[in-house]
Copies of this chain bind each other. A is one copy, B any other.
Amino acid sequence: MSEKREQLENIATDAVQRGGLHNLSFRTLADRVGVKSSSVHYYFPEKSHLAAALIARYSADFAAALQAINADKKGVIKKLDAFVKIFEDAVSNEKFCLCGMMAAEVESLDEANRTALGTYFQHTEDWLTDVISEGQPNGDLKPRAIARTLLSGMEGAILLDRVNGQRHYLKAQRDLIRVLISN
Which residues between 139 and 183 of chain A lie within 8 Å of chain B, taking CB atoms? 140-141, 145-146, 148-149, 151-157, 159-164, 168-169, 171-173, 175-176, 178-180
* A43 to B163 Cα, complex, angstroms: 27
Chain A interface, DSSP helix/strand/loop, else mixed: helix
Which residues between 51 and 101 of chain A lie within 8 Å of chain B, taking CB atoms? 96, 100-101
Least CB distance, A24 to chain B, in whole angstroms: 11
* A154 to B100 Cα, complex, angstroms: 14
A106: Cβ under 8 A from any B Cβ: yes
* A132 to B168 Cα, complex, angstroms: 18
Chain B residues closer than 8 Å to A20, beta-carbon distance:
20, 22, 104-105, 107
**A156 with B163: CB separation less than 8 A:** no
Least CB distance, A161 to chain B, in whole angstroms: 8
Least CB distance, A83 to chain B, in whole angstroms: 14
What number of A residues sit within 8 Å (CB to CB) of B? Answer: 48
Task: Take A140-B178, A156-B156 as given contacts and tell me if A103 and B23 are in contact as well, using a CB distance cutoff of 8 Å.
Answer: no
Add 16 more A-B contacts to A121-B163, A156-B157 (CB < 8 A).
Answer: A20-B20, A22-B23, A23-B108, A100-B104, A103-B160, A114-B163, A140-B178, A141-B176, A145-B175, A145-B176, A149-B153, A149-B172, A149-B175, A152-B156, A155-B159, A156-B156
Which A residues lie at the B interface, using CB under 8 A? 18-20, 22-23, 96, 100-101, 103-108, 114, 117-118, 121, 138, 140-141, 145-146, 148-149, 151-157, 159-164, 168-169, 171-173, 175-176, 178-180
